[in-house]
Amino acid sequence: MKKVKLFFIAILLLCLGTNSSAQYIDSDTLQSRYRVTATTFGIGLQSSLDTYLSPIEYKGPELSIARETIRKTRFNRNITVQNFFRINAAYLNKDSRISYSGLANWNYGMHYNFNILPELKILAGGLTDMNGGFVYNPKNSNNPASAKAFIDLDLSAMAIYKFKIRNYHMTARYQANIPVAGVMFAPEFGASYYEMFYLGHTDGIVNFTSFHNHFSIRQMLTLDFPCRYVLFRMGYYWEMQQSHLKHIKSHTYSHSFMIGFVRNIKLIRDKHGKHLPANINPF
């Protein structure tokens, strides 16, 4: 009876180990199913100005969470697909006056890989950049909130460098995204949301944006490093979102330090963080 119990326990542990370390079993012909996924949590500082609500710039702590997936395409091994989603929320204040902000950002696009050296590659491409959020100022009685909604087409560049410290494999990455053209929700200065959405005064609230009225940039620096059987990611995220539309100035400057974990979907886990083969590794 004891042997039977030990047998079932061994089978259960084997199944659990297989599920955690070999979530996808693939061949080179299906390299697009290999994914590098990362979940990170960030803490930092944010500066926010929205003259629709107030001419005062507010500053305060920011919390964020991000989820990223990178994989190779089926049709070309030199092209990777990036899916990046981030949510941030900030508690802002200025001279005992309080404001709150939140933004959800989703980037989805492709990069072409230029293999400069065995340990270095440069990626260049484009992303769809979708954003939605708010700024809330409880001191305002008439217009206490300002909605944020904009969609951009971004130019994106990335540098990925792989190196070793002793037997431990590490990956450093720098990425920058710059919006080139898009559309943004922008009400007239002084117009209330009651007038726009209840009375139907919505003419001209969607506006074209480019460098002249929406010069912005997002940058990210990350380092992936192993610790036993877990691959960790630490990094720095810097964002500058600016707009000047309908006599309304708005900006958000965000600095965030991130920590999280990475999952290379492969058959065997390695406590030294050994990389996937180059022909199937999307990162």
| CA dist 208 → 156, 182, 183, 205 (Å) | 20, 6, 5, 10
Structural domain spans, the chain: 28-264
Using CB atoms within 10 Å of the CB of residue 52, give its burial: 0 to 12 exposed, 13 to 18 middle, 19+ buried.
Answer: buried
- The DSSP H or E segment spanning 221 is strand 217-227
Q: How do residues 168-227 score in pLDDT, each as one tens digit?
A: 999 999 999 999 999 999 988 878 887 887 887 788 899 999 999 999 999 999 999 998
C-alpha 223/C-alpha 54 separation (Å) is: 39
C-alpha 190/C-alpha 192 separation (Å) is: 6
| CATH code 2.40.128.100 for 28-264 | yes
C-alpha 102/C-alpha 132 separation (Å) is: 8
3-state secondary structure of 10: helix
What pLDDT is stored for residue 18 in this prediction?
36
Q: What is the mean pLDDT of the chain?
A: 85
C-alpha 92/C-alpha 161 separation (Å) is: 37
What pLDDT is stored for residue 140 in this prediction?
80
What pLDDT is stored for residue 21 in this prediction?
34
- The DSSP H or E segment spanning 262 is strand 248-264
Give the residue among 209, 236, 101 at the shortest CA–CA distance from 154.
209
DSSP alpha helix (H) spans, the chain: 2-21, 193-197
3-state secondary structure of 135: strand
3-state secondary structure of 29: helix
The CA-based angle 275-278-280, given to 5 degrees, is: 95
What pLDDT is stored for residue 192 in this prediction?
82
Assigned token pair, 189: 């200065």
All residue ranges of the chain with pLDDT < 50 are 1-30, 267-269
C-alpha 193/C-alpha 198 separation (Å) is: 8
What pLDDT is stored for residue 213 in this prediction?
96
Yes or no: say if 146 and 166 are a contact pair by the CB < 8 Å rule: no
